[in-house]
Amino acid sequence: MPWGRYRMRKLIAFDDDTFDKLKQLARDRMGTFQELADEAFADLLKKHGIPIDLKDALRKSAALPNTAKPAGAKPKSTKKTTKKK
């Protein structure tokens, strides 16, 4: 991913053993530490049902059932009325 895409940097602390294992995993996969972090955070967001990008958000909203009613709509009455003669 190009560096221009990243707008914010955050500092995350790891113990030495964990950091060494993550660096080795990145090397084994022929990737970068940043790619591991991107994958981990994307998985975490997915686990909690939070859309990762606009495309994911649109896909999720299209799959939701249409339970919302228009603002000006009146509820239909379920009572049946009969005319007296």
pLDDT per residue as tens digits for the range 36-83: 999 999 999 999 988 888 888 888 888 877 655 555 556 565 566 666
> Does residue 4 lie in a domain region?
no
Q: Which residues constitute the domain of residue 48?
A: 32-62
Domains: count for the chain? 1
Q: How far apart are CA 77 and CA 37, in angstroms?
A: 54
Side-chain half-sphere of 5: how many Cα atoms within 13 Å? 4
Cβ(26)–Cβ(32) below 8 Å? yes
Side-chain half-sphere of 49: how many Cα atoms within 13 Å? 4
Residue 56: how many CB atoms within 10 A of its CB?
A: 14
> Does residue 50 lie in a domain region?
yes
pTM of the model: 0.58
